[in-house]
Amino acid sequence: MKKRVIAGVVALALVGAGAWWMTRSTVPGDALVLYGNVDVRQVSLAFGGSERIHELRAEEGDRVQPGQVLAVLDTRTLALQVEQARAAVEAQEQALLRLRNGSRPEEIGQAQARAEAAAADTVLAQQELNRLRNIAQDTDGRAVSRQELEQAAARLRVALAQKQDASKALELTRLGPRDEDIAQAEALLRATRAELALLEHRLAQAELKAPAAAVIRSRLLEVGDMASPQKPVFALALADPKWIRAYITEPQLGHVRAGMPARVSTDSHPDQAIDGTVGYISSVAEFTPKSVQTEELRTSLVYEIRVRVQDTDDRLRLGMPATVTLALDAPRGRHP
């Protein structure tokens, strides 16, 4: 008799469990309650260059605003390099200005004086050669040797060459610098300016700034540490956006759409719900996450949804359990 009673109780329990299993996947007529966890975006901040950290201006838990300086590198060496590059730019600017202005009147006058002196030397050399030739002719070559005549002729050739060289130099001085020389100077100026801009950019990167409103989660380096692009200095949790990551079954999928209003509550503030909006519904089914379900339900297929919220009072924390309530009769809204 006892065995029959026990068997009956077990049967009733199985019937009740089956009824619960059949009804648990159905959606209430006016609202759908989901359970998920708070998720936020995180940022790892690192310097763009390698140098020792000179100053840190934030602690773990501090709230920071966009553009706020959080850390500074030692910039003494870089500042000297910037000054050196600025001096190089100024020198190249003056060199280009000199080429563009061309020759000064004084330089043209100097070149002309050299050309006139070379012409006078040519006249003297010609006169000296003529004089020696006349003497040699009058004396039948006894007063002037052949070697003296050859030397005088050579001096004349040298004087003529110098005259031609001075004349060409005068012409070039009047024409001024070549266009190619000016273009080369302009290119060198652009190169020095680009080098200066690069150094100034590196100098600006010596300050590590917050990219958005956030909370300092971790301070990973200290003053005196050698920073590099591969070594984050701070880990930040962004204040916005925040969302609740939850999962729905296939029967529930037909009742949820992007843009639906939602109410989010937590155990720490059960009576202070936060307004939200369904911003994402996965188009691909996945197995239920093992970390939040029992072993029996791990093979169930579910769809991920994300409910975006505006947490103006900053009550939500990363990983915090949250309850999401969706009004099923709400009108279709826009995708945020």
Domain ranges of the chain: 81-200
Distance (Å) of CA 157 to CA 120, 128, 152: 13, 12, 9
- In the structure, what pLDDT confidence band is assigned to residue 18 with cuts at 50, 70 and 90? very low
For residues 246-275, average pLDDT: 86
**What pLDDT score was predicted for residue 15?**
43
pLDDT in tens, 307-329: 998 887 878 888 889 999 888 75
**What pLDDT score was predicted for residue 295?**
52
Of 16-25, 53-62, 156-165, 285-294, the poorest mean pLDDT is in: 16-25
For residues 85 and 88, give the distance between their C-alpha atoms in angstroms, rounded to a whole number.
5
For residues 311 and 313, give the distance between their C-alpha atoms in angstroms, rounded to a whole number.
6
> In percent, how much of the chain has pLDDT > 90?
30
If you write DSSP's letter for every residue of 268-311 in order, what string do you get? SSTT--EEEEEEEE-SS-EEPPTTTS-GGGTT-EEEEEEEEE--
Cα dihedral 144, 147, 149, 154 in deg (nearest 10): -160
> What is the pTM assigned to this prediction?
0.58
- In the structure, what pLDDT confidence band is assigned to residue 211 with cuts at 50, 70 and 90? very high
For residues 210-226, average pLDDT: 92
For residues 216-239, average pLDDT: 92
